[in-house]
Structure 1
C-alpha cells in the first residue's frame, strides 16, 4: 500500500469530511445477472435482465446511502479486460475462467450507460483489474485524511480494510471492519494477502500451497507471524506433509502472493474530486429507463431525486450470495424463461448414467451450469453406517440423472419364496460404473468452490459423502431455507415442500421399494424406477431452491439463514460421524438392575391391588384404580377407558385425600420401564459393535424455535436431576487417554428474559453474579438472601422458570402443590416487583396478534398459527408460545452460533484433537486428550460466552460452566 504522508483532512461538499464510496461494479453485474430470470426488451428482443437487475441494485444502494454517514464522493469501478499485468507474471492466471454467457455480453456497455444515467462516475483502466483501481482510490482517500467505503463483500478486497478503509456488504446491510475479517478468516486484514497466498484461489487459478486450507493457513500465520517467516522456518514444522508442502512449493506460494496482492499505485484515470456526489439528471435518467423499457422501475425512481420507498428495490432470483460473485460460472446455464413452478415433471427425460463417457459429459454440464441439485441414495437411514447406492444430479427442470453405483439384482427366491441360498446367480451383472472410479470423477465437481450444490437436508448427504473422502462444498439446503422462511407453519420435508410450492406429488419411496415385510433395500430397486425416483429428488430440490432462495433477501431473512442455518449441517455431520462412546458393560448391569427392581415393584403392586394384573395395560390399571379401589379423580377418555397417564398417577400420589401406595408404585415402575427400554437396552443396541460409539441424528428443522432435536437414539431427554438418570450418564465415557468436557450455559433463558424484557432487577443480579433465584425470592418476599429457607428459594425458582413459559396460576399451583389462589398471589407479586416482564409479555402478545409471528434477537421468525385459531384455548396457547419463543429461540440461536464457530476456534488454538460430540439443549459435550483439557475449556468458554457478538451485545453476561471428567455425569 501507499506510504504517502498524511495530508490534512480532505473535504467533500459543504466542507464535510471526505467519504469516498467505491462500488465494485463488476461484481454487481454478475450478481444482477444471476439474480433475475432472463429478460428481453419487448420491442426488439435485446437481453436486458442484467441491466435491469443492476439498475435496481444501484438505485437501492443510492437510496440507502442518503443520510449523515452517506458518501461525499462516489464511483463505480469496472474491469476493463481479461488481460492484466498478472497474466505477465503467470500465464495461467484466470485460465479456468469460461467466457461470459452470450446474452450477458451485449449488456456490459448498457450497464455503463445505466451507471452514468444514475449520476455515478464509471472508472476503468486497461491492464488493471477493478480491484486494483479500488485499492488505489481507497489508499488515496485514506492518505488524504478521509474514509473509503468499498461496496462489496469480495474477500480479495478485505486486505485493504484498516485505518480509513472499511467494506460494506449491501446484500446483508453490514459494514465489514477488522473484526469481521478476523471472525471469518481467523487473521487480521494485514495478513489476508499471506493467507490467500497459502490457500490459493481455484476461481482465479492462483495455485497456493496444495492441501492447505483457510483454517490451517490462519493457524500457521498466527504461529509464525507472516509468510516470509513461515517459509524461512518451514523446516521446524512437525507435521511432515505440511512441512514438505511449504518447502517444496515455496516459490509457488510467493508467486501466489504477488497474484493476490492488490496495488495501490495504479494510474488513477480521474481525480477523486471528480466523483462528488450528485443527483442524477432527471431527463437523462428518465430517457434511459424509457429506452430500456423499465417502466416499473421508472415509476419507483420518480424524478431520480425522491424515489418511492414502497417495496423492495430488487426481487432476486436464486444466487449463491455467501461468496463474492467474481465469476459467471454460477448460473451460467440460464434458468428457463418459464417459471419452474409452472413446468411439469417429465420422468422419461431423466437419464441413468451407466458409462464413464456419459458420466464425464454430465460432470461437464454440471460444471458449466454452476448451480446443481444433488442427492444421494443409500441402503439405510443412518448416515454413519449407510451404504451408498448411487447419486443424482440436476441442472435444470427435467434435466437430471441418476448414477447407480452398487445396485444388485433382487435376490432370487425359490418355491414358497425361500432363498436359493448358495445356488449360483446366472443373471448378467447390472450395467453401472465402478464405484471407486465414479467417485473419483465426481469428487472434483462436488468439491469445486465454483459450483454450488443444492441439497435437501444436506447434513445427511454431507456425512454420507464425507465417509467416502468427498467434502461436498459449497452447499445450500432447501429444507433450511424453508425453515427460515416458514418455521412453525408446516414441516419442511421435500415431499411437503413440493406439494406446497410446485403443486407436485413426488414418487413415494414405497412405490419403488415396497412396504412392510416386502420392502427391499434401495440397492435392489431396478435401475429404471430407481432413476425416476432419485433424479426426481434432485430435480425437485433445484426447483425449490429457485423459488425459495430469492425470498430470503426479499423478506429480510438472508442473514438468519447465512449465519444460523447454512453453516451448521457440516458441523453436525462431523459430530454425528464422531459419535460418543459408551461403556456397554455398565449399561448391561444397569438394565439388569432395572429389570430386577421392576419385578419387585410388580409384585408389590399386585399385593397393593389385591390381585395380579398387567402393569403395562392402561385398561387394567384404570379398572384397578377407579373401578375396584374407587380412588378419586378418575377421568375417562373418548374411548370410554379410564385415563391413567403419568399426570393422573402423579395427581393421585400428591392428593392428600388419596391414602393408597399403588399410584406411587406404578409411577416408579413406569419410569424404570421407560429408562430400561429407551436407554439402557436401546443404547446398547444402538452402539457400533466395533467402536462402542453411539451416533445420534440431529434434526435442524423439527422445532419452531430453532432448538435442535435428537433421534435414533434420542440423547437429549436422559434425566439429569435424578439418581437413575445420572447412572445412565455415567455410562457415557471417553476413549482411553481422553476426557469428556461438558460446557453448559448457566440460566441462559432467564438472562435473555432480563435483556429482552429490560428488567433492571434481574440485570443487576446477573451482573453481580448473585444466586438469581434467591435474589428473586428476596425481591418478592422481602426475605434476606442470607439464611433464606430452601423452600422460599424453590418457590421463586419455580416462578422464574414458569414465567418464561407463560405458566398459569393453575400450573404453578400444581407444580408447588399449593392452592391456586396462593399461586395466583405469587404471580401477581412477581409482576408487581418486575413490571418490565409484564410489559414484555403484553408487547409480545400484541406483536403476535398483529403479525402472526415473533422474532428472536438474531432475526429468526417464529410463526405462531394458533394465534388466529377460532378456539379460545388454542389462542391462549399461542400467546404462551409467543411469550416463550423469542427467549427460547434466542437461546437456540446463541448455541448454534457457538457450534458454528467452535471447530475453527479449536483448530486455531492448536486443539484439533478436541472433538465436539453432543448438543443437549444449552449444553455442549466434547472429547479431549487429557493434556488438552484445560486449554480446551478456556477456548470453549470463550466461544460460548461471546457467541451473541457481534450481532447482539447482551446487557447481561453469558456464563458457561465447563468441567472435564471421565464420564458425562461427572463432567456435568
Structure 2
C-alpha cells in the first residue's frame, strides 16, 4: 500500500454508464457464439478500458482510478420528487443482461469498480472529487455529463474522452454562461427534460445564465423576482419559486455520500493476466484476447465457442475469408446446384463484373453469387483466352465458360422471382446491367443504402470501406488485376484464376455486410428511412437513368462558340483593368497582378510561393474591386464551356442519341441526390449563361418537356420546423416571401419594394438556411462585411424563432452526434465538437441538414410514388435536379401529366408528417428544358 492520498496524487473517475451506452450504440449487435448471449456493449466497453489503460501513461498518468456505476434506478431524488427521471426510456432488452458483465469486466482489468444503493454514480463521483481536492491532490472526471460540471475547478477537471477534450472552468462557462459554482442555479431554472427536472417553464440555459449573472445567485434572483422587467418572465419566477428550489435540490450533487471505501483503496493496479484472460475467453472475444495477451506477454487462452445448439445458424464474425471456399461455375449442372441452394435459402447476394463503369455501354463479363458466408462462386461469361501481355491479344474466349444467353436463361427466373431476395452492394448498377439483358431484378436489398441510412455523414459507403470497418477485412484490390494508365485492361481480359477469387469475394462480403446491417437497422431506428426513402429509389432511378434525355448537339456547338467570344471580350476588359495582358487562366500570373502590381490586400502565398487566388479570395476582393469580379465571371463561363457545352457532347450515347446521367443515392449525407457523368445538379440557374445550357436539353419530336418544381420548399420547411408565424402566414396568403422579408427587415412598405432590396432579402433568406456568415453574405451581395453582418443581426431580431432553432439544433447535434429530418433520416455530425476553422462549418452543416434533408426526403417520397401515378399516361420521368422533376410526355397529354404529378408532389409528406405550410408546385412546359423551367 502506498502513502495516503494527497499532494502529487492524481485521481481518475470514469463515468461507467457513459462508457456502456457509447459502446452499446457504437457497435452492431453481437452475440456470444456458444449461447447467443448479447455481448456487443461488453465488447465495446472492454475495448474502451483497454485503450484507457494503454493511453494513460507518462507524467500526467493517474495514481488512483475507479469506474463508478449507478446501482439502481431508485435514489433519494425519487423520494424528493416522484417524477424524477420518470420519462426515461426503458433500457433496451439486449443491453440489460450486459450491465453486470461490464462490472465484471472492470474488475477483470484490475480497476476499482464502485456503486452505492440509493445514490447516483454522479454523487459518488462528487464525493470522491471533493475528497481528492481537500487532500491536496488532483482529480480528472472522465465524462461529458453536464451535471458533473458543477464540480470543476481548483484541481478538478473533466475529460470528454470521445472528443479528447478537457473541460476546465472556462469550458464550463462556454457551455453554461456561468462558472461551475453557479451551474446548479442555471440548471435549476432551465430544468432538464432528460432527467425530468421541471425548472422554470419557458426559461432555457441562455436566459437562466443571463438572470443569474445579473442577480448573483438563485436565492437573490427569487427574492428580487418582482424587479424583473419582462412581465411573463417575472410571473414565471414568482409562480414557480418552489418548483425551482426543488429543481435545485434535484440537480445538486451530494458531496457527502456515505462511502464504504477510501481514496487509498483506489490505487492504480496493473492488469493481472490470471484475472483478465479467463474473463475475455469466457466472453469469447478472440481478437481482443489475442491483442491483450501480446501486450501482457502471455499465451492467449483457447476459446471454445462451439454453439450448444443449431450448429448451422449463420454466424458471420468468425467464418474466415478463405479463397478455398470460392469456385468457378462453368456448366449448366454446376449453376443448377447453386440455384437449388438459392431456392432453399430464400435469399442470395449477387454481383456483376463488367467491362466498364458506364452501365449503358458496359458488357456483362460474369456474375458472382453467395448464399452462405465463405461459400461463393463466379460464373464467368466472356473472359478472353490470351493474357494481357500477349502481343496480338486473341479475342477467343477462355475454356470452361457458359454463354451469356444460357447462363441468363437459368438465372432470369431466380432474379425475377418475388419470393427470393436479391442482395447487392450499390444494386442500381447491377439492376441496369441485367435490364439491358431483359432481366428485371426484384425484390432487392442494398447494403450500401443500409449503411447510408445508419451511418450517413460518418464515412463513405463503398464496399471496401464497409468491409474494413465492419468485417475487419481488406478486400482483394482491383488495381493489380486491371493495371493502370495506358496499359490498363478490362475485366474480360483478367485470367480466370485471378478473376474467380476477386469476383466471388465481392458477393461474400456483400452477404456478410447484409447479415450485420439488416438487424441493425431496427436498433438504429432507421428501418422506415431505409424502407421508404432508400430502397424504393433504386428501381425508380435505374429506370430514369436508362431513359435518359435528348440533347441537341448543334445547340451545344453554337453555345461553345458564343462562350469563347464572351471569354475573349472579358479577357480584353481584364487586361485593360490590369494595365497589361497576361494569361487570365493562370492563377500564378493573376496573383502577381492583384497583389504585387495592384497591391490589393489579403495576398497569401502557398507552399509553391504563388499567391492563392481561389474563388473565396476573389469574392472577398470583388466586394471592393472590379478586376477580381471580372475574373470570377470569366472563370464561370470557362467552367460552363468545359463542363457542359464541350463535355456534354461527349456524353451523348451513340445508340440512344440521349444523355444518361447516373444518380448517386448515398452521395450527400443530407439525402440529396448527386449526379455524375454528366453532373446535371450543378448547372447554375442564377445566371443567364447557365439558363442557356438548359436550351440544349430538348424533347423528341411529338413530345413536350414538363418541369415541376417545388416552390421555396426549404423556406416552407424552415417556417414549419422553426415555428415562424410571420413566414407561415405569408405562405398561407401567397405573398412574395422575399419581398415580405425585405419589408419586415428594412421597414419598406410592399408597394415601395425595389428589385435591389428584394434581392438582398432573398440572399439573406437563403443564406440563413445555409448558416451563412457575415463574410459569406458580403461576398454574395458584394457589399462590405459590416453592412452584411448588420443585415443578419436585423434578420434574427425580426424572426427570433430562427435563432432558437439554430441554437437548439446545434445543442442536439453536440449531445447526440447527429441531427434528424422530419422523416427520421439521421445525418451524423462527427465534427460538431471541433475547434478552429472547421467548427463554424460543422455547425452550419448541422443547422442546414434537417431543412435540406427534409426537402430531399419529400422529393424522394414523391419520386417513389410517381411511376404508379403516371403509369397510364404516355409520359416518363427523366431527371431530378434538387427540387425539380423533369418529364417527357406526348403532345396533348401535358395537362393530365401536370395534374397527376402535382397531386403526388404536393401530398408527398402524407401520412407521416403534417406540415404547417402547404407545399406548392410550379409547372412549366416547352420544347426544351429552359422554356419548361
**Does the TM-score normalized on the shorter chain lie above 0.5?**
yes
Which residue in 2 is equivalent to 1:839? 804
Please give the secondary structure, in 2, of the residue aligned with 1:389.
strand
Which residue in 2 is equivalent to 1:680? 645
Q: Flag the 1:968–1:627 CA change in 2: closer, same or farther, 3 A.
A: same
Task: Select which of 719, 728, 732 maps to 1:754.
Answer: 719
1:71-113 deviation digits (Å, cap 9, x = unpaired): xxxxxxxxxxxxxxxxxxxxxxxxxxxxxxxxxxxxxxxxxxx
**1-side partners of 2:395 and 2:869: how far apart?**
57
Please give the secondary structure, in 2, of the residue aligned with 1:433.
coil
- TM-score, with normalisation over the residues of structure 1? 0.63
1:323-362 deviation digits (Å, cap 9, x = unpaired): xxxxxxxxxxx89547313222111220110001101111
1:118-171 deviation digits (Å, cap 9, x = unpaired): xxxxxxxxxxxxxxxxxxxxxxxxxxxxxxxxxxxxxxxxxxxxxxxxxxxxxx
| Contact 1:653 1:663 (8 Å CA) reproduced | yes
| Contact 1:341 1:503 (8 Å CA) reproduced | no
**1-side partners of 2:894 and 2:482: how far apart?**
48
Deviation at 1:789, TM superposition (A): 2.3
Which residue in 2 is equivalent to 1:882? 846
Matched, 1:519 2:519: no
Matched, 1:792 2:753: no
Matched, 1:463 2:427: no
Matched, 1:356 2:332: yes
Matched, 1:641 2:610: yes
Q: Flag the 1:595–1:672 CA change in 2: closer, same or farther, 3 A.
A: same
Q: Flag the 1:820–1:596 CA change in 2: closer, same or farther, 3 A.
A: closer
1:925-962 deviation digits (Å, cap 9, x = unpaired): 11111121110001111110000110111110100101
**2-side partners of 1:788 and 1:617: how far apart?**
42
Matched, 1:543 2:508: no
Which residue in 1 is equivalent to 2:322? 346
Deviation at 1:521, TM superposition (A): 0.4
Deviation at 1:426, TM superposition (A): 10
Which residue in 2 is equivalent to 1:242? none
1:859-888 deviation digits (Å, cap 9, x = unpaired): 01110111122x243233222211111000
| Contact 2:382 2:397 (8 Å CA) reproduced | no
Task: Select which of 371, 380, 386 maps to 2:347.
Answer: 371
Task: Select which of 815, 818, 827 maps to 1:853.
Answer: 818
Please give the secondary structure, in 2, of the residue aligned with 1:340.
coil
Task: Select which of 718, 733, 736 maps to 2:683.
Answer: 718
| Contact 1:335 1:396 (8 Å CA) reproduced | no
Matched, 1:481 2:450: yes
| Contact 2:387 2:495 (8 Å CA) reproduced | no
Which residue in 2 is equivalent to 1:226? none
Q: Flag the 1:604–1:807 CA change in 2: closer, same or farther, 3 A.
A: closer
Matched, 1:564 2:533: yes
| Contact 1:853 1:862 (8 Å CA) reproduced | yes
Please give the secondary structure, in 1, of the residue aligned with 2:461.
coil
| Contact 1:477 1:566 (8 Å CA) reproduced | yes
Which residue in 2 is equivalent to 1:168? none
1:647-693 deviation digits (Å, cap 9, x = unpaired): 333333331xx4xx543443333222211110011000111134320
| Contact 1:605 1:662 (8 Å CA) reproduced | yes
Deviation at 1:637, TM superposition (A): 2.5
Q: Flag the 1:518–1:815 CA change in 2: closer, same or farther, 3 A.
A: same
Task: Select which of 763, 773, 778 maps to 2:743.
Answer: 778
**1-side partners of 2:821 and 2:914: how far apart?**
14
| Contact 1:38 1:337 (8 Å CA) reproduced | no
1:398-426 deviation digits (Å, cap 9, x = unpaired): 11100011111347767xx5x47xxxx59
1:448-507 deviation digits (Å, cap 9, x = unpaired): 111111100011111111111111111000000000101000000000000000000001
Which residue in 2 is equivalent to 1:406? 382
Matched, 1:825 2:790: yes
Task: Select which of 902, 922, 937 maps to 2:898.
Answer: 937
Q: Flag the 1:852–1:701 CA change in 2: closer, same or farther, 3 A.
A: same
**2-side partners of 1:914 and 1:692: how far apart?**
19
**2-side partners of 1:335 and 1:650: how far apart?**
66
Please give the secondary structure, in 1, of the residue aligned with 2:893.
helix
**1-side partners of 2:33 and 2:845: how far apart?**
45
| Contact 1:745 1:959 (8 Å CA) reproduced | yes
Please give the secondary structure, in 2, of the residue aligned with 1:730.
helix
Which residue in 2 is equivalent to 1:169? none
Deviation at 1:577, TM superposition (A): 0.4
**1-side partners of 2:830 and 2:642: how far apart?**
35
Please give the secondary structure, in 1, of the residue aligned with 2:321.
coil
**2-side partners of 1:605 and 1:805: how far apart?**
32
Deviation at 1:786, TM superposition (A): 1.8
Which residue in 2 is equivalent to 1:30? none
Unaligned runs of 5+ in 2: 1-28, 37-309
Matched, 1:920 2:881: yes
| Contact 1:584 1:692 (8 Å CA) reproduced | no
**2-side partners of 1:829 and 1:600: how far apart?**
40
Q: Flag the 1:879–1:605 CA change in 2: closer, same or farther, 3 A.
A: closer
**2-side partners of 1:602 and 1:846: how far apart?**
49
| Contact 1:379 1:386 (8 Å CA) reproduced | yes
Q: Flag the 1:874–1:37 CA change in 2: closer, same or farther, 3 A.
A: closer
Please give the secondary structure, in 1, of the residue aligned with 2:697.
coil
**1-side partners of 2:489 and 2:664: how far apart?**
26
**2-side partners of 1:453 and 1:755: how far apart?**
39
Please give the secondary structure, in 2, of the residue aligned with 1:766.
helix
**1-side partners of 2:677 and 2:397: how far apart?**
38
Which residue in 1 is equivalent to 2:367? 391
**2-side partners of 1:946 and 1:781: how far apart?**
35
Provide the aligned length of Structure 1 versus Structure 2.
634
Q: Flag the 1:708–1:341 CA change in 2: closer, same or farther, 3 A.
A: same
**1-side partners of 2:335 and 2:916: how far apart?**
56
Which residue in 1 is equivalent to 2:52? none
Deviation at 1:366, TM superposition (A): 1.2
Deviation at 1:600, TM superposition (A): 4.4
Q: Flag the 1:890–1:640 CA change in 2: closer, same or farther, 3 A.
A: same
- TM-score, with normalisation over the residues of structure 2? 0.65
Q: Flag the 1:478–1:650 CA change in 2: closer, same or farther, 3 A.
A: same
Deviation at 1:787, TM superposition (A): 2.6
| Contact 1:806 1:883 (8 Å CA) reproduced | yes
Q: Flag the 1:850–1:477 CA change in 2: closer, same or farther, 3 A.
A: same
**2-side partners of 1:524 and 1:629: how far apart?**
58
| Contact 1:376 1:390 (8 Å CA) reproduced | yes
Task: Select which of 851, 864, 869 maps to 1:905.
Answer: 869
**1-side partners of 2:311 and 2:450: how far apart?**
19
Please give the secondary structure, in 2, of the residue aligned with 1:940.
helix
Which residue in 2 is equivalent to 1:948? 909
Unaligned runs of 5+ in 1: 1-34, 43-333
**2-side partners of 1:717 and 1:399: how far apart?**
44
**2-side partners of 1:412 and 1:802: how far apart?**
55
Which residue in 2 is equivalent to 1:962? 923
Give the alignment of 1:105-120 within 5 angstroms. none
**2-side partners of 1:790 and 1:476: how far apart?**
51
**1-side partners of 2:690 and 2:634: how far apart?**
15
Q: Flag the 1:668–1:637 CA change in 2: closer, same or farther, 3 A.
A: same
Please give the secondary structure, in 2, of the residue aligned with 1:867.
coil
**1-side partners of 2:366 and 2:338: how far apart?**
15
**1-side partners of 2:360 and 2:655: how far apart?**
13
| Contact 1:598 1:673 (8 Å CA) reproduced | yes
**2-side partners of 1:449 and 1:608: how far apart?**
68
Which residue in 2 is equivalent to 1:806? 771
**2-side partners of 1:958 and 1:358: how far apart?**
56
Q: Flag the 1:427–1:674 CA change in 2: closer, same or farther, 3 A.
A: closer
| Contact 2:707 2:886 (8 Å CA) reproduced | yes
Deviation at 1:611, TM superposition (A): 4.7
